[in-house]
Every structure is written in structure tokens, then in C-alpha cells.
Structure 1
């Protein structure tokens, strides 16, 4: 699309818009950068708050992991102290009492037991209700025989039915031979409940999970895991390993709680520009309505009244109109007064001009009548018809001019009569010719067939003169002696505004009259040239003759 077409499109678009809509669009466009900046700030804040929240989630799981590790370390220290007791190492009857006393200070430990190298329980803090031989248990095979602390599980304690994690300290003699283990089971449910009670936010959820599950979970490597619960709520969780390959701790919180402040900040960053837009739009609408639209409507109504010549009596502006529009209002009132004075002066001049034009037309009509009277008087003084014929032809031509002048005078507004009905003109012209040749009309019939068409007065004269000259030539030359016939005058207009004017007769034709045309032929050619056309001569109905001209109304 070219530049002029684009500019034309936008010009039409602007012209079809109201002042209020254009100003609101301008205000909205001016606030677009504010919206973009606010949206950018909102998303930047969202990313920053997400990092802060995720960091706090990781910090919380680290705190809980330290608390749980403290429990494990406390148990490990107890095992180290018990390993130095001879009764515990040898599994004597006093071993059970020693283990029971040690168990009192460890609320998260479900049981303490001394196990020999073959997997037989020598003694325990609580009685073993199932079996004293654990050599076939899976968790026993997971324990290390060295002096370091090892773990097994999590598993379901058969005595309590609760999930437990077995921690064991390997015993060796002075030669480094294994002497079994001192083991205790950590009650994971109780530990989990205690960790949940220590959390500051009660809407969070802390769970102890099997570390083996993390190895099969593809999300385990993500610092923050995201999932949905059965109710469709989204949770974010951070996980940290507590006992490698055995136990991990997971801290989770609903996103609606975790990101509540973030959502509030983002909503505020987006809502504030929208609220600003609403207030700006309302202020713009109020300002345009009371300071521009209504004053302009008032001025337009006043201009309409002024244009119709009705000056309102109340010229006081609205209380909300600004100073510039009030001044414009006053200028319009002053302009209306000047226009009214000028109109009265022009009306007076127009009336004087109309009277002068009417007087001029009447004088011209009277002068033409004087000329006709002189020609008639001169013709009556001549004795023979051959002597009177030239004067009669001149009289017919002047009669045509008088007819045009009469139609102008009879117009409703002669001062502005710029057109004449050609149908009425030619009909009256044919009637005038009939009256001019009463003897010939007894054997010659004149017909007039014309379309109604308004033509300019400067065209009426050559058309009238052409028709008069053609009719006169036909009456005088086309019907010699006592010959009878018809003369047909026609004027037609087609869709392209081409006017075809013809005068045809059923007389002797051009072969008998060409030598007699003379001055008439020259006049017909001259009148055709005035109409912007060449004279055409053609036969009519096999024996008569036609003379015609064709011209375009738009080309004149």
C-alpha cells in the first residue's frame, strides 16, 4: 500500500472518530509505556520473590534436618557410651537394666538391643516379643560389621507396628574381631510429629521418606519439587537427605500460602496502572464532556441558528466553559451581527438589481417590438410578394429573438433565469411560423416533436435562429407552386447528453433546392458552428430533405 493511500485511510479514520474517543485513545496510548514497565516490574518481582521463597523453603528443610540429625547424633553418643559398659558388651543379666536406663533419655528411640555377631539378641531394653534371632532379617544384613555407625531400613517394627529406622554401632575386640552390634530403632512417626510441632508455619507439612524412593524419582534432583494433591492444590517441596541411602526429610507448603505475598505484589503492580487508567479515563471524559463537547455542541447549535438567520436571545455561556470557548462564543455573536447586517445590505442590492434586470428585459422586448413594427410597415409598402419575401424572412428571425426574450421575461425570476425549456421554445416557434405564413399553411403542415430539456439562454438564440431559418427555407423552397407536404421539427437527447436537432420536410429534396439555398445555407452553417457542430444535409423518406446539427451539452 502506497503512502498516499495509507494517509488517506488514516485521515478518513480520524474523521470518523469523535473528539472524546481520540483523546481517550491518546491517554491510553500515553499510558502504554507505564503498563509495560509495570508488567516488567511485576514479572521481575515474581522471579525475585520466587527465588526468595524457594530459598526460605530450603532453609526451613535444613533447619528441620539439623533437628532430626541432633536426635540421631544423641542416639549415636548413647551407643558409644554403652559400648564401654562391660555388662552390655558381654550381654550379662545386668545388660537389660543398663539399656532400659539409657532408653529413658531418648524419647524417639523405640528399643535398645545388644546383638551378637551371629544375629542373636543377647539383651534389650524392652522384651523381644517376636524372636531373639534376627540373622535372617533383611535389615540385619544391611548393617556394617565395622566400628562405625550404620543404618538399615526404614522398616515396620514388628513389636510396635510403626515405621522405624535401625541404627547400629559395631563392636570389635582388641584384636579387631567383630563382637556384634549395639542397635536402636528410631520411631519415625514420633520424630515426624515432633518436627512438625517445631515448625513456625502450621500450614506447612514435613514428612520423613525412604531415601530409596528419591533414587527412582526424576524430580529428586530439582531443588524445589512441584506437585498436586488429591484436592487439586499445588504444593512446592524441598527435600534433604538425613541418612544417606535410608532416610530423607521433605518440607512442603501450598503454593497459595507460599506465594501469597508474591501474588499480592504482582496483582498490585498490575492493578495500580489499570486503576490509574480508569481514573485518567474518567477525568478525561469529565473534562471533555464539560469543557469541550458540551461547549462545542452549544456553539454548533448557535451556528445552525445563525446560518438560518435565527439569533438566540440567550448569549450567556455555560458555567463550565473555558475562557477560550467563551471568547469564541462572543466572537460568533459579533460575527452573526455582522453577517445579519451584510445580508440585509445584499438583499437590498439584489432587489435593486432584480428591478433593473426586469426593466432592462422590458426595454429590450419593447425595442424588438418596435423593430418588428417597422419591418411590418416597410413590408406593407412593397407591392409584390417577391419584394416582401426578404423582409418577411428578417421579420421571422427577429420574431425568434422576441420569443426568447418573452420567455425570459415570463420567467418566475428573470434576474436569475439562466435556462429555458427548449420544448416550450420550439413549440411556440413553430406556432409563430404558422402565423407568419397563413397562405402556405393551407397546404403545408408543421409538426414539432421535442424532448423536454432545459438549456442555457445563450444556446436558445442559435437554436431558435437555426430552426427559424430551416423552417423558412423548407416553406419557401421545398414546396414549389401548389405542392403539399409536411415539415417535421425534432430534438432528441440520448444518455450521453448528445442533442440531435433536425428539421425535415417531404418536399422536392436537395436536388431541386441546392441552387436556391444561398444566404439561408450560410446562416444555417453559422448557427450550427455556434452550437459547436457541423451542418448535416441528408435526404428524408426517399424524396424530402433533412438539415440538422448534433452537439454535447457538456461541451458547451
Structure 2
């Protein structure tokens, strides 16, 4: 894989971000717990404020109801009123002089009939059908009714009754007082209410007696009626527009008239939502800023210089060891790493120089060896040529000339190796092409054409020598025996890959051929077989009289053999 390629795994930036995130998890959890606790505390405080506000608003009306009870107790103690005789009507009328909140005072007998009253029109009216009359008989305090329409004034009133008892403790009727509802509305509106607050006075039947917002007041009364109007609880109501309101209840007196104080959910809990949102958002923002800081720091202080050093390393890998890192503005750690890379490059450059010098010296020595071997072989060839010219026996002369040809092939190999820059390998195409034409020229065989079809392949010197000797042996035999009497012909030398990772060298002629009996015992045949075995291959000869001869050598492909060993 390339050094500049993307490696698998987490980058330094991701690792730092994960570590910082894990380190901030406790802070996030604590902040969340604080937010939840703050929300609960704020909700509890809001509920307490609503209840306290409801009690505060109800205080004025409660004072009015307490005054009504005191009036009833005072008139109930008077003998004229208690005995329902004498100037009972006058006493009741005189009691209301200067009192603006109450519209009527009445004495009611045990049967529920009005016997005397501050307003004469009330005489004889029956009130026993009202629940407040029955409730008054059960309590020692003043019983309060729902909102009623006065049958005397025709105005909405709230009635209060206080039971009277005889000396033996039996029920002796009640004294009753009527409170004008508009005074409750007046006192409510005169209260200093917070902005957006809604106050509703309603009875236990869910009827709104007074409110500063009819829509919200009706919603509160309806919600309170369905929830039981618990005076110690905070409930919710939804108005006709779908807005949510929180309200607290406070009873005026008994369980008949209630005062509710309400405020919008958004106004009440806006600061709470803000605080809780900040408690939740701040840790996330902290993690986000930490990630951004890590990204910026790693990019400016780490990744930038790592990328730069990787480019330096790539330049060193390409052999440009003279380059030195410029890390003036980098952190000290990268400066130390850059110095280490520069020292390594200098060491590699020095070692490379020594290796090149050593290789150059080795190449010079090998060239000198090949040159001397070639010269020595040429001397041997000259000696063989002189000896062959002096020998009278034709068979001995042919043997010496054959040896001369073989030595000439070896000299050709060393000459080619001497001319190459790489002294250990050579191209068999050039070798066999030159060798075939050199042998053809040496044999003075103008009647025979040599065709070479060998691909360009680089092989070692040992393989080249064995191939050259094999080819020399086959060609000399062909030139000696295949084309007698200046017979025209063609010799084809070819090489091609075959199955099994092997190469096949084929030398074929269209000469006269020969019968295959007894030929394997000749020196040439034995040499052909021996040179084939040197290559680890197998040689074969096929020939028929008049059909030419084909010599094959199948041997392992040197390239594949080298890859297998590696």
C-alpha cells in the first residue's frame, strides 16, 4: 500500500474527540441532573406562587364574607330578631344603614319562610328549597350559597345563612344576608394583578361570578369543576384558543365560592424552559467547541506537519535524499522527528553512495573478467584453427573445427555480457540471433537461410551459456548433414511458452532428414542431451528421410522459476 494511502483505523483527531467526549460525559450527566432538579424546583415554586397569589386575591373577599358573618351573629343575638317580634324589620333595616356591600338582611323561621326583612318585599318568601338553608342547619358557622338571583332586587347575589337555636338546642330558623356580586367583581378588579394574570371567582356549580378574562375564567371554572376544585392543588386549563393556563384555588368560605389565580404556561415557565435548555445545551455546546478546537489544533499543529513529513518521506523514497525538512514553525516534537528523518536520509545517501561505488567496482571487474575470458577463448580458437590446418586426418580436423565452433559460442556469450551494463543477464533474442548468423557465416552456407523467431527475454548468464551451447551443437549438426551438395534449405529457430510454466526451443530444418535408428549414440546427440539437462529440461529429436529434422528442448521458464523461489 502507498504510504500516502488512507490507513484503516481511527485518526488522531477522532481519538482525541472520543477521549474529550468521554471526559465530558460526567459533566453532561451532572448538568442534565441539575436541569431536571432545577425544573422540579421551579415547578414547585411556581405552584406555591400560584396558590399564594390565589390566597392573596381571595383575602379581600374573605374579609367581606367574615364581615357578613359578624353582622349575622350580631343581629342574631338581638331579642327582636331572635323572637321575630316587635320592631324586627326596623332593626334589620337599621343594621344595613351605611353598609354598601350587603343588599338585604332577613329572619327566616324553622320552616324556611321569611318572617321579617330589611326589605319589605321579602316577607313571606320561602327559601327552604335552597341548599344553603339545609346546609346552615348542619354547621355552626355561616353557610354560603352559590350565585343566586335575588327575588327582591332581581340582581345576582350570594347568600349567607347562620342558624339560630332555641334554649333547648332545637333549630329555630336562620338569619340571612345577601351580598351583591358586583362588589366582588369590583374588589377583584381593584387588586394589583401581575401582567397577564387572570382571576376568576366561581361557585361550586362551575358558574363564573367574576373574572377579568371571561374566556380563561370559564375554562378555569370548567376545569376546576371536573377536578374537584382542590384548594391545595395547582391544575391546568385550556382556553378556547388552545393556550395552556396554570391556576391555583383558594376558597372564600366553606366549599361554595372559590377564587382562582391563573397565568399562562409560557409566561410562568419561560425562565424555567430557558434554564433547563441551557443546562442541556451547554454541555453539548462544550463538546461541540471541544471538537472544533481539537479539529483546529490537530489540523494546524499535527496533521499539517504529518502531511509535510510524509511528502518528505515520499521524496526520500524516490531517491531525493538531498532534501531537508523545513520545520521552523513546527512544534518541537516535529522538529526532532524532522531531524531524525534528515539524519536517516543522510545515512541512506552515504550508504547508497558506497553501494554504488561497490557496484561500479564490481561491474568493472566483471567486465574485465568477461573481456579476458573472451580474449582467452579467442586465443584457444586461434590455436585450434592452427592445429586443424596442420592435421591431415579429416575426422580429426572436423573434431577440432567443431570444438572451435563451440568455443566461439562461449566467446560470443562473454562478448555480449561484456557489452551490457548489467553483467549478470542478457537478452536471449540478441544472443540466439547473433549466434545463428555467426554459425551460418562460419559454415559458409550461402545455400541455407536461417530464420530466428525468438521473443525478447532476459535470462541469467548460466542459462544463456547452456542455450548457446545447445543451439551451436544442433546447428553444426544440421549444417554438416542436412544440406549436402549445396542443397537449398531453411533453418528455423523459434521459442514459445508451453503448458506447465515451461519454454520450448525448436530448431527445425527442411533438409534430407535421417532414420532414427542408432543416432543417439553419436557425440552430438549426447551433447545435445547433456546441454538440455543443464537447463533442467528434456530434449527430443524427430526426423524422417526426406522430411527434415526437428529438435525440441522443453525447459522451465527462468522467470517463473525465479518467482517461485522468491
Query: Scaled by the length of structure 1, what TM-score is found?
Result: 0.77
Residues 176, 511 of structure 1: alpha-carbon distance in 2 compared, 3 angstrom cutoff: same
Cα distance, 1:549 vs structure 2: 0.3
- Residue equivalent to 1:255: 265
Cα distance, 1:535 vs structure 2: 3.2
User: Could you say what secondary structure the match of 1:528 adopts?
Assistant: helix
- Residue equivalent to 2:3: none
Cα distance, 1:12 vs structure 2: 0.9
Residues 336, 446 of structure 1: alpha-carbon distance in 2 compared, 3 angstrom cutoff: closer
- Residue equivalent to 2:556: 551
Measure, in 2, the Cα distance between the counterparts of 1:517 and 1:454.
34
User: Could you say what secondary structure the match of 1:308 adopts?
Assistant: coil
- Residue equivalent to 1:23: 16
Measure, in 2, the Cα distance between the counterparts of 1:153 and 1:286.
73
Measure, in 2, the Cα distance between the counterparts of 1:187 and 1:30.
69
- Residue equivalent to 1:520: 524
Measure, in 2, the Cα distance between the counterparts of 1:514 and 1:59.
133
Cα distance, 1:199 vs structure 2: 6.9
- Residue equivalent to 1:4: none
Measure, in 2, the Cα distance between the counterparts of 1:495 and 1:110.
128
- Residue equivalent to 2:450: 446
Residue 259 of structure 2 corresponds to residue 265 of structure 1 = no
Cα distance, 1:435 vs structure 2: 1.6
Cα distance, 1:547 vs structure 2: 1.8
Q: Output aligned runs, 1:98-177, within 5 Å.
A: 98-99=92-93, 101-102=95-96, 104=98, 107=101, 109=102, 111-115=104-108, 121=114, 133=125, 148=140, 149-155=142-148, 164-173=157-166
Gaps of 5+ in 2: 1-5, 207-222
Cα distance, 1:83 vs structure 2: 1.8
Measure, in 2, the Cα distance between the counterparts of 1:494 and 1:235.
95
- Residue equivalent to 1:74: 67
Cα distance, 1:490 vs structure 2: 1.8
Residue 431 of structure 2 corresponds to residue 431 of structure 1 = no
Q: Output aligned runs, 1:214-233, within 5 Å.
A: 217=226, 223-233=233-243
- Residue equivalent to 1:464: 468
Gaps of 5+ in 1: 1-9
Match 1:208 to one of 197, 201, 206: 201
**Range with bigger deviation, 134-143 or 453-462:** 134-143
Measure, in 2, the Cα distance between the counterparts of 1:549 and 1:69.
124
Residues 182, 323 of structure 1: alpha-carbon distance in 2 compared, 3 angstrom cutoff: same
Measure, in 1, the Cα distance between the counterparts of 2:468 and 2:195.
113
Match 1:491 to one of 486, 491, 495: 495
Cα distance, 1:278 vs structure 2: 5.2
Match 2:382 to one of 365, 373, 383: 373
Residue 414 of structure 2 corresponds to residue 400 of structure 1 = no
Residues 143, 446 of structure 1: alpha-carbon distance in 2 compared, 3 angstrom cutoff: same
Measure, in 2, the Cα distance between the counterparts of 1:334 and 1:254.
76
- Residue equivalent to 2:373: 364
State the Cα deviation string for residues 172-215 of structure 1 (Å, max 9, x = none): 55577765443334455653664576577444433233434568
Residue 535 of structure 2 corresponds to residue 531 of structure 1 = yes
Contact persistence 1:103–1:125 (CA under 8 A): no
Cα distance, 1:79 vs structure 2: 1.6
Q: Output aligned runs, 1:180-199, within 5 Å.
A: 180-187=173-180, 190-191=183-184, 194=187
May I ask how many residue pairs the two structures share in their alignment? 534
Contact persistence 2:508–2:550 (CA under 8 A): yes
